[in-house]
Amino acid sequence: MKKKLESFLVCADFSNDIPVLVVGTKVENGINIINTFQGEEAEELYHKLIDKKGEK
């Protein structure tokens, strides 16, 4: 993989029955959505991103 520095924006919405996690990047006129996850997969990814190692 070619070396580069990239930042991602992550939005997590757990206010409804089905959790949603959205990943995007900032572009000139807004946000470019890269991927979305829902349900159990969204929750798992959310915890992988925010939980400190060794904690759950």
Residue 35 is assigned to a structural domain of this protein = yes
Residue 55 is assigned to a structural domain of this protein = no
The overall pTM is greater than 0.85: no
Rounded Cα gap, residues 11 and 42, in angstroms:
10
Residue 31 is assigned to a structural domain of this protein = yes
Residue 4 is assigned to a structural domain of this protein = no
Tell me the pLDDT of the chain averaged across its residues: 92
Residue with tokens 């959505």: 33
Q: What pLDDT, on the 0 to 100 scale, is given for residue 54?
A: 73
Residue 1 is assigned to a structural domain of this protein = no
SS3 50: helix
Q: What pLDDT, on the 0 to 100 scale, is given for residue 55?
A: 66
> What is the DSSP track for 2-31?
-------EEEEE-SSSS-EEEEEEEETTEE
Number of separate domains in the chain: 1
Confidence of residue 30 (pLDDT cuts 50, 70, 90): very high
C-beta separation of 44 from 56 below 8 A:
no
